[in-house]
Amino acid sequence: MSRTSLFLPLGLFLLMAFMLWRGFALNDPHELPSALLNQPLPDFQKTRLADGAPVARQDLLGTPFLLNVWATWCPTCKAEHAELNRIAARYAVPLVGVNYKDDGPAARAWLARYGDPYRLSVVDEDGSLGIELGVYGAPETFIVDGDGIIRYKRVGAVDRRVWEEEIRPVLQNLGLPLEEPRA
Amino acid sequence: MIPELGHFALILALMLAVLLAVVPMAGVVRRDLTLQHSAGALSAGLFVFLLLSYACLTQAFLQDDFSVAYVANNSNALLPWYYKVSAVWGAHEGSFLLWTLIMGGWTLAVALRSEALPTAMLARVLSVMGALTVGFILFLLMTSNPFERVLPVAAAEGADLNPQLQDFGLIVHPPMLYTGYVGFSVAFAFAIAALLSGRLDAAWARWSRPWTNLAWAFLSVGIALGSWWAYYELGWGGWWFWDAVENASFMPWLVGTALIHSLAVTEKRGVFKSWTVLLAIAAFSLSLLGAFIVRSGVLTSVHAFAVDPERGMFILVFLLLVVGSALVLYALRAPVMRAEARYEGLSREVMLLANNIVLVVSTAAVLLGTLYPLVYESLTGGGKISVGPPYFNAVFVPLMVLLLLIMAPAPLARWKRTGAAQLMRSLSKVALASVALGLVLPLVVTGALELWPVLSVMLGAWITLALLVDALERVRNKQGLPAKLRGLKTLGAGYGGMVLAHLGVAVTALGIALTTTYSTERDVRLAPGDSVTLGPRTYLFEGVAPLEGPNYVADQGTVRVFQNGQPIAVLHPEKRRYLARQMVMTEADIDPGFFRDLYVALGEPLGEGAWALRVHDKPFVRWVWFGGVLMMFGGLMAAFDRRYRRLKLRDQAALAGALAS
């Protein structure tokens, strides 16, 4: 073994640091990667979580809606769930869930236990819709306008601040009447 | 006034840390003993001002000083006092102040407990720790000042501590975990000091060992506490999620475990020196990487603090400086490995080498899984993917099985060489007994043979019985039970600690395998008076009553549990609504037991007094954490082995002799 080989750990570390830096610079969690912004929601043929009925992209279109990627194995999804319930209860915006790489019965039990804010949840058991959407980790939240164009993406939990400062203004710009909470 | 005092104390601590980083090291370079001796006083001063700063922040919480932004965001006048005290580390800024305070504590401990260390060596170690502290305090002052005011308009009421954190778990988990994380800075500092001095010898390994054991003990119990907390607080009975932040604490633990064993080889046999130094650097580097992952928001996680790119960039640069310079030093100064000793096939050092390889490969696997989304993204320039628990379980579990297999023969093997025949003689009966137990026990208790219970009982018995055989062999020559017990005592705390820690690993492994296989759960709709049967027990739901807490209102359910018609427990799961944040939390109630937990969580009201309930029966789940407690006691016991003090005195005498001649 020679002195040169002792530089190996340093090389590996620098490589990793570079990756971290790239990932960090690229992955501002508030930003939608430009590649996806203003692109149409990918086409899909899936089933509904509640009853297994088929659901496809065009069934969702019409009014702007929130698309939320969630799973029971994802602790952060649990953390944001209360806020989603609040939004669904107080504002006139449809929420559509994407139940990502999850177990159907567990997911239904989860919604029964913690409340179901979604108009419907799309079952994405094999994660193929997640790949199409560029999902990086659950939870992620998209705003899709009435024509099926993605207008916003959030990686990570939606909390009150994100709702007030980011999501609500975008939805209002799309013409949803969100000024006054429903009584 | 008090927050400003805290801020000022932190700035003074920064000055002292800079002095500690520079002056003793300069003393070493200039061979000036006075400068070298200043390290002790500077460490003490540094700790005092960090403590003062920390006390000021705590005081701001206790006084509900909502003009301090951090207090306003994370506390509330209605919060009970013990949560106010622990809310100090409930979010990013305060928790990093705690981290820095603990760093100061370790520095002071090294300064106080190292009277036997050569002055120059101690000066180097404390300087390195001072330099690290400079980075930590700068990070606080530049990006994460917990003392910042929101003047002139102060909030009338605090936003409250995140309800998920209002729990005993918050009180104990972060301090233990941080003590473990930061504790690896001592082994790191010793490694750097040894590289600088060129004295990478048995004495260096001996000095590092108790500190490493201590840090490892804290990290073990910190991780176990976190897992326990997640289990009862998150409300769905899971105890490990392969979450990025859990992995961040698990990687230093894996490398720390490898380091403990590698240090033993370096001390006893004088080999693996470069490897041991590298592990010491890696353990602390992974702690720092964990801090980066948690605090930069680069990976999403339940533990993630508020995202701030500036903080992430600071830690990344700090990481680059600390780890980069350590590895450059390593590349330049580490001894080039020669065939320092011949390795015999069955010697203890070869088995410990195998242990190290398995642990490092496991760490690499966890690291890869944790960073893979980032790596993939860097390579593809934006393609985003996710890695879930399936990957980790598939890679990690077989590696751990391998590790458990090696764990039995390693303590029995002797240094240098072990007679294969002797090892076979000791272990063949153990192997037979383990296989028999693994097949019989699950069959008798459950009437079925399933892979993981059988395998885990075999491995648990394999490790436990081998330890027993080893202990008996060591006191073989003593006659009679009292003499044998006295003989065991003379084996020393280090040996006892090893036995405890190994038993702890076996217990945790058994707990994981058994609870994963045998846990059952049911989701049911129950009206008052309805009951549900799960396994041998019946759960009777008696309805829900309102309950008022200090800062929340709750619906509290009552569930009576019967077994064979006899009442065995009454559980009160709650659904709480926290007032300040209007957040709803599920508080599961658990009837804990050594062999099983009964776990009931309240779901949603379904009308007419009926509720959705989830009932879990979780056999052996406590073993997962009980093993962690055993590991902690093992680590502590080994750290306080009197052998270290005795040998320190011998090292000191040898050094004095060398100086005199």
Residues B178-209 have pLDDT tens digits of 999 999 999 999 999 999 998 888 889 999 99
Which residue is associated with the tokens 């019985």? B465
The answer to whether residue B15 is domain-embedded is yes
pLDDT band at B358 (very low <50, low <70, confident <90, very high): very high
Other Cβ atoms less than 10 A from the Cβ of B608: the count is 7
The answer to whether residue A1 is domain-embedded is no
Residue B12 belongs to what domain range? 1-161
Contact between A130 and B230 using a beta-carbon 8 Å cutoff: no
- Give the pLDDT of residue B297: 61
The answer to whether residue A47 is domain-embedded is yes
Structural domain count of chain A: 1
Looking at the complex, report in whole angstroms how far the Cα of residue A172 sits from the nearest Cα belonging to chain B: 24
| Last residue in a domain, options B161, B192, B215 | B161
- Give the pLDDT of residue B147: 94
The string of DSSP letters for chain A reads --GGGGGHHHHHHHHHHHHHHHHHHH--TTSPPTTTTTPBPPP-EEEETTT--EEEHHHH-SS-EEEEEE-TT-HHHHHHHHHHHHHHHHSS--EEEEEES--HHHHHHHHHHH----SEEEEETTSHHHHHHT--SS-EEEEE-TTSBEEEEEES---HHHIIIIIHHHHHHTT---SSPP-
Q: Which residues of B touch A89 (CB under 8 A)?
A: none
The answer to whether residue B55 is domain-embedded is yes
**Residue in A13, A76, A159, A160 to test binding to B, most B beta-carbons within 10 Å:** A13
- Give the pLDDT of residue B376: 66
CA-based nearest residue in chain B for residue A128:
B385
| Last residue in a domain, options B161, B180, B202 | B161
H helix or E strand, kind and range, residue B336: none
- Give the pLDDT of residue A133: 81
The answer to whether residue B398 is domain-embedded is no
Q: Which residues of A touch B586 (CB under 8 A)?
A: 113-114
Which residue is associated with the tokens 């899936």? A46
Contact between A75 and B230 using a beta-carbon 8 Å cutoff: yes
Beta bridge partners of residue B590, listed in sequence order: B599
Q: How many pairs of residues across A and B have Cβ atoms under 8 Å apart?
A: 149
Structural domain count of chain B: 2
Question: B266 CB contacts (<8 Å, ≥6 apart)?
Answer: B202, B204, B205, B272, B273, B276
Residue A53 belongs to what domain range? 30-173
The answer to whether residue A183 is domain-embedded is no
The answer to whether residue A94 is domain-embedded is yes
Residues B570-604 have pLDDT tens digits of 999 998 888 777 777 888 889 998 999 998 988 87
The answer to whether residue B101 is domain-embedded is yes
The answer to whether residue B123 is domain-embedded is yes
- Give the pLDDT of residue B311: 80
What CATH number has the domain bearing residue A125?
3.40.30.10
Give dist(CA B517, CA B504) in Å, integer.
20
Q: Measured between CB atoms, which of A20, A127, A137 is closest to B316?
A: A20
The answer to whether residue A89 is domain-embedded is yes
**Proportion of chain B above pLDDT 70, given as a percent:** 91
Which amino acid appears at position B119 of this protein? T
- Give the pLDDT of residue B15: 97
Looking at the complex, report in whole angstroms how far the Cα of residue A174 sits from the nearest Cα belonging to chain B: 27
Q: Measured between CB atoms, which of A21, A76, A115 is closest to B316?
A: A21
pLDDT at position B215 over 90: yes
pLDDT band at A132 (very low <50, low <70, confident <90, very high): confident
Beta-strand ranges (E) seen in B339-488 are: none
The answer to whether residue B509 is domain-embedded is no
pLDDT at position B661 over 70: no
In 3D space, the residue among B357, B173, B345, B172 whose CA is nearest the CA of residue B257 turns out to be: B357
| Last residue in a domain, options B161, B186, B215 | B161
Give dist(CA B428, CA B406) in Å, integer.
14
Question: B489 CB contacts (<8 Å, ≥6 apart)?
Answer: none
The answer to whether residue B49 is domain-embedded is yes
Top-confidence residue, B19 or B239: B19
Q: Measured between CB atoms, which of B313, B331, B386 is closest to A10?
A: B331
CA-based nearest residue in chain A for residue B374:
A23
Average pLDDT, chain B: 87
The answer to whether residue B515 is domain-embedded is no
pLDDT band at B292 (very low <50, low <70, confident <90, very high): confident
